[in-house]
Structure 1
C-alpha cells in the first residue's frame, strides 16, 4: 500500500479548527524545548511548524527502548529533558520513581479531542501524568521474496523446524519475552516463576539461531538490507519498510500479539513546563494528530483526528486493528517488584 498523503480541503480545515483549541502561549523565557523520544517517531515538519508557531526551538534526543530511556533518566537525564514518550507499562514505575511531573490539565484544552477509551487508563488513572501519543501492535514482518508459505505463527522464530532463513529479535525485554509468553500460551504479564523459566528456556534455545537482537527501527532496516528474512517489529515500522520494498509484509501471529500505547509526559525535572504543555496541546490538535499517524503509520488515540486520516490508512487492520484482532492482543502492564524476576531472566538470555 502506498503511503497516503493528507489532502486538506476547506471542510477538513474547518473540522480541524473546530477540534483544535489554541495552545497556551509559553512564558518568554521558555525558548527551547528538550524532547526525548523514540527514533523515527515524529515528523520533522510537525516540529518545525510548532517552532514557527511559537517562535521557539525544539531539541530532540533519541532512544530505542523503554529500558534505555529509563536508564538515561535515572542517570540524571530527568533534568536534561522536558518531554519523554514512554510506553504504557513503563509509566507506573516512572511515577513511583518520581521521574514524571503531574500535568496541568487546564493548559491542555485539546484533551477533549481524545477518544474516551484512552482517557483514564489503568496505568495512569485520570491521565494525571501522561497523554496517549500513538498506539499499535507488535508482530512479525518478513520478506515475501525470500521465504515460502511462511506460517502465521511465532514458531517461525521459536521452532527451528519452521525457521526460514536468518531472523532478528527485538532488543526490548518486555516485547521479546512477552512474545515468547504468548507462543507458550502465557500472559505477557506473567510473574509465575515456572512460566518465566519456560520463557527463559525457549529464548535461550532461540538466541543462538537468531541473527541478532536489534532495537527500535533496527528490525525494519535489517529486512530492507536483506540481512534478515523475518523480524520481530512494530507494525508502523513494517509498513514504512513496505513502502521502500513491496516484498515486505506484516502480520500478527495466530497465537496473538502485543498491543501497546505510547504516551507523552513531562519529566519531573523539566525546566520548560509551560512550553511542554503547549507542545502536548499542539499534538492534540485534530490536524496534527492526523499528520502524526500518517507519518508513523500507527493508530491515533485522538478521536478528532480520525476523520482527517486517509481512509486507506484507517481501514488497514495493521494500523487500526479490527475487533476480531483485538481479541487476540494483550496489553502490557506494570509488573511492579516482580520486574526483578524478568530482569534476571533477560540477563540470562542475553549472556
Structure 2
C-alpha cells in the first residue's frame, strides 16, 4: 500500500526548540515545507501494470489537504505530490529549482501569475476542461476583468480564494480598535508587533502607510523613504513570520498586540481557535488584498490531469471546506462591493516596479542593517 508522509526542511517550529536571534529580535529562516505524497512500502508492482500518472502540485498551506488529495487520486487513478511554500519568494525559488521546473500546477496570487506568464512559465488554459467554473461568482468567471490572468487573449489561471491583508489586534491590549497602519510604529507596542517576512508586501503596505497613491510602482525617492520606514519599524517588532501557524504560536506565546495579517481571515480564524480574543480591521489607508489562483506550468507532464485538478479545486464542496477550515473566502461567495474593487478599502496586488530592488533592500532590512547605511 501507499503511505503518506510530510518532510519539513529547514524550519525551526516555535515552541519546539531554540530560535535564531539577531540584534535582539527573532529572525525565522524562510523555508519550504515539502509534502511528498506517497512512498511505496509494499511489494513491487508487476512490470505489466500501467504506470500511474503523477501530478506535482506547488501550493500554499490549506490549499491541498490530504483528504482532497486522496479523493482526487482515487477518482482519477493518479498519484499526487504536494510541495507547500510559505512566501512568494519561496514559490519563485521552487519554480527555478530545476530545469524544467518539477511541477505541473501551482497556486499564486494574481501579481505573481502575471510574473510567471510574462516569463513564459505557464501554459494557456483550455477553459472547456474546467466546467466547474459555473459555480463561481460572475466576477471570478470574467477572467479578462482580473488584472494578470489573461495575456494575449489566453487565460493562464483560475481564481481559487482571496483575502484582505488587514491588521489583527489583541482586544485586551486595545481599548479602541486601531484605524491606521501607523499604529504599527507606535512606541507603546515596542516588541509586540509581528510582521510578515516578504519584500513585496512590506514595501507595498508601508507605501500605503506613507500615503503614496500607488504602492506597487514607487519612484526612487519613494523607495528610499519606504526602506527607511521599514528599518524604523524594526524597533517595534517581536519578529517576522512566514507561515500562519507560526504567527499564531508567536502571537500566543509572546502576548503580541498587533500583527500585519498577510493571510488575513485565515489567521484570524486560527487565533480565535487558539483562544485569543482578536479583532480584524482594514486600516483607513487601505488594505492590500490578494486573489490566489490555480495555474498550469508550461512543462506540465499531463495537461489533461492538470486541468482535472483545476476543475476539482472549483467543486462547491472544496470551496465550502476551504472556508470552514481556513477561514478564507471561496470564489462562490459574493465579494463586497462587486469584487473589481471589492469595497473601498481593498487594494488588489499588482506586479511591482522592480522585484529585484525590493528583495535586495529587504534582505538588508531583515538582516538588521543600520538606518545610516541606507540612502538619504
Question: Where on the TM-score scale, by shorter chain, does this alignment land: which range?
Answer: 0.7 to 0.9
User: What are the superposed Cα offsets for residues 104-143 of structure 1, whole Å, 9 maximum, x if unpaired?
Assistant: 2222122333323222222122661111110111012122
- Show the 5 A alignment for 1:4-43: 29=51, 31-43=53-65
Please state how far the C-alpha of 1:69 moved relative to its aligned partner.
0.6
Query: Given that residues 121 and 298 in structure 2 are in contact (C-alpha distance below 8 angstroms), is that contact kept between their aligned partners in structure 1?
Result: yes
Q: TM-score, normalised by structure 2?
A: 0.74
Residue 267 of structure 2 is aligned to residue 222 of structure 1: no
CA, structure 1 residues 172+350, in 2 after alignment: closer, same or farther (shift >3 Å)? same
Residue 283 of structure 2 is aligned to residue 283 of structure 1: no
Please state how far the C-alpha of 1:255 moved relative to its aligned partner.
2.0
Match of 1:345 among 361, 369, 372: 361
User: What are the superposed Cα offsets for residues 230-289 of structure 1, whole Å, 9 maximum, x if unpaired?
Assistant: 221122122222122141222222221111100111122222322111111111122322
> Aligned residue pairs: how many?
307
- Show the 5 A alignment for 1:1-351: 29=51, 31-76=53-98, 79-118=101-140, 119-120=143-144, 121-125=146-150, 128-160=155-187, 162-163=188-189, 165-186=191-212, 187-217=214-244, 218-233=246-261, 234-235=263-264, 236-302=266-332, 306=333, 321=336, 326-335=343-352, 338-351=354-367
> For 1:189, what is the secondary structure of its paired residue?
coil
Higher relative contact order at CA 8 Å, sep ≥6: structure 1 or structure 2? Answer: 1
User: Quick one: distance in 2 between partners of 1:299 and 1:114?
Assistant: 12
CA, structure 1 residues 115+78, in 2 after alignment: closer, same or farther (shift >3 Å)? farther
Query: Given that residues 177 and 279 in structure 2 are in contact (C-alpha distance below 8 angstroms), is that contact kept between their aligned partners in structure 1?
Result: no
Please state how far the C-alpha of 1:77 moved relative to its aligned partner.
7.0
Please state how far the C-alpha of 1:322 moved relative to its aligned partner.
5.9
**Residue of structure 1 equivalent to 2:371:** none
5+ unaligned residues in a row in structure 2: which ranges? 1-49, 368-376
User: Quick one: distance in 1 between partners of 2:65 and 2:255?
Assistant: 27
CA, structure 1 residues 174+70, in 2 after alignment: closer, same or farther (shift >3 Å)? same
* Greater helix proportion: 1
Q: What is the RMSD of the two structures over their aligned residues, measured on CA atoms? A: 2.4
> For 2:81, what is the secondary structure of its paired residue?
strand
Please state how far the C-alpha of 1:185 moved relative to its aligned partner.
0.8
**Residue of structure 2 equivalent to 1:3:** none
Q: TM-score, normalised by structure 1?
A: 0.79
Please state how far the C-alpha of 1:57 moved relative to its aligned partner.
2.6
5+ unaligned residues in a row in structure 1: which ranges? 1-27, 307-313, 315-319
Query: Given that residues 168 and 232 in structure 1 are in contact (C-alpha distance below 8 angstroms), is that contact kept between their aligned partners in structure 2?
Result: yes
User: Quick one: distance in 1 between partners of 2:193 and 2:54?
Assistant: 41
CA, structure 1 residues 53+325, in 2 after alignment: closer, same or farther (shift >3 Å)? closer
